[in-house]
Structure 1
Amino acid sequence: MQKSGVKRLYLMQVGSMPEYQIPIVCALVQTADGQNVLIDSGLPAPLPEEASDFENGQDVIAQLASIGLTPDEIGIVISTHYDIDHAGRHAAFTKAHYVVQRAHHLDAASNPRFAALRPQWDQPSERIRLVDGDTELLPGLDLIETSGHVTGHQSVLVRLPETGAVLLTVDAVAFGKDFTREQQDSHTPDAEAIRASTLKLLDLAEREQVGLVIFGHDAAQWEQLKKLPEYYE
């Protein structure tokens, strides 16, 4: 098996959409050389009025504390996109560099969809790393550009020493039922971009022999996954 700089992958549920029984999730990657990389940060607290469909659970900061980590020990935050259930605690990680697709960050600057959360994601420019397309962030940790859900959305591929390749589709494919080459009935404006990203991830999963694909909000799958303090290695 290819050597990887990644040592562990933790998964966390930090909230939910109770009406639809949808989990709100984050992840933490730890590397062999001691780096802590957070993938998304969950919901804000308090929740704004427009987020009444959501419910906070044990937040990412409390869950990190349960394994002995403080916000200052997070060196990188991979921001898959700036939706309220993914970037709600970004501002808590004041020592971290944020990694986001350039297309997404530039779109968010004038997109009303992300305006309410701007104090969280609009960090000093010296702490934001803008990437363009698929990027190897660290050995064993790749960012995969998957626009469709939003412009510049990114998924994450993690190569673990024992588990092998793990693909976090995030909101590019939120539910396992949609991870298919069959044409989906969709009337959303970005249906073609969503399909293109889905096919891209399917090709990636085959090419990289991905053994575990983790979907962004799949409650049935989430019940079966290891969650912090357990981890994949």
Structure 2
Amino acid sequence: MNQQAAKRLYLMQVGLMPDYQIPIVCYLVQTNDDRNILIDSGLPEVIPDEAAEFKNGHDVIEQLAIIGLKPDDIDTVISTHYDIDHAGRHAAFPKARYVVQRVHHLDAASSPRFAPLRAEWDQPPERVQLVNGDTELLPGLELIETSGHVPGHQSVLVRLPKTGTILLTVDAVPFAEGFTRTAQDDGSNPDAEAIRISTLKLLDLAEREQIELVIFGHDGAQWEGLKKLPEYYE
């Protein structure tokens, strides 16, 4: 048994877009050597007026407390990207290192899109681990670069001993209906070609690895049938 390997995956719904019943989610991976790795942190404690379409629920800190974890217990925060519904509580974890794609972190520094949340994601450099492209963070936990939704977005692959491999597409493919080789550009995506390339990359990965569980970032219908904390996948 690899002592660093992923052993458990928790799913948490921390908020909602009520008008569309779209869940706002984050994840927790636990390893054989008792590390706690958070994937995203949900919405900020106070949602600004310009993001009024979001509504907080039981936040990530409340949910972690259900399984006996405090903010100090989080060793690592994998930041898929710095949007308000994914990085809203980053600053709550004083002992964590933050793992983010270099391209995204550098782009965010000058992007108005991420400026309102800068106090959360702009952590001291010594606590930020910048990665370049696809990266094995530890055995059973891989970061997959999937630009398109934003530059340097990353999805996450989790290999578990019983469940097998789970792919967290996050916002690269937020809904199951978009997980297709047929282009679906409604004109609203600023980088539709990059989204298409990343979608094909994840489809190829799912086929090559024969992944049976692909969890989409905001799919309310799928979310209803998934295990949520305190339940877990192992």
TM-score (normalizing by structure 2): 0.97
| CA displacement, residues 3-58 of structure 1 (integer Å, 9 cap, x when unaligned) | 98111000000000001110000000000111100000000011111110000000
Q: Name the SS of the counterpart of 1:142 in structure 2.
A: strand
- Alpha-carbon distance, 1:185 to partner: 3.1
- Alpha-carbon distance, 1:219 to partner: 0.2
Does 2:226 match 1:225? yes
8 Å CA contact 1:88, 1:117 repeated in 2? yes
Q: Which amino acid aligns with 1:230?
A: E
* Unaligned segments of structure 2, at least 5 residues: none
Q: Which amino acid aligns with 1:180?
A: T
Q: Name the SS of the counterpart of 1:123 in structure 2.
A: coil
| CA displacement, residues 185-232 of structure 1 (integer Å, 9 cap, x when unaligned) | 332220000000000000011111111000000000000000000000
Please show how residues 124-203 of structure 1 align to structure 2 within 5 Å. 124-187=124-187, 188-203=189-204
Q: Which amino acid aligns with 2:18?
A: P
8 Å CA contact 2:12, 2:26 repeated in 1? yes
- In the alignment of these two chains, the number of paired residues is 232
1:121 — aligned with what? 121
CA distance in 2, matches of 1:7, 1:144: 19
Q: Name the SS of the counterpart of 1:194 in structure 2.
A: helix
1:106 — aligned with what? 106
Q: Name the SS of the counterpart of 2:113 in structure 1.
A: helix
8 Å CA contact 2:153, 2:172 repeated in 1? yes
CA distance in 1, matches of 2:185, 2:230: 39
| CA displacement, residues 137-195 of structure 1 (integer Å, 9 cap, x when unaligned) | 01000000000000000000000000000000000000000000112133222000000
* Unaligned segments of structure 1, at least 5 residues: none
| CA displacement, residues 107-157 of structure 1 (integer Å, 9 cap, x when unaligned) | 000000000000000000000000000000010000000000000000000
8 Å CA contact 2:3, 2:33 repeated in 1? no
8 Å CA contact 2:40, 2:77 repeated in 1? yes
Q: Which amino acid aligns with 1:153?
A: H
2:215 — aligned with what? 214
Q: Which amino acid aligns with 1:228?
A: L
| CA displacement, residues 82-107 of structure 1 (integer Å, 9 cap, x when unaligned) | 00000000000010000000000000
8 Å CA contact 1:4, 1:161 repeated in 2? no
Aligned residues with identical type, % of pairs: 76
- RMSD after superposition: 1.2
TM-score (normalizing by structure 1): 0.98
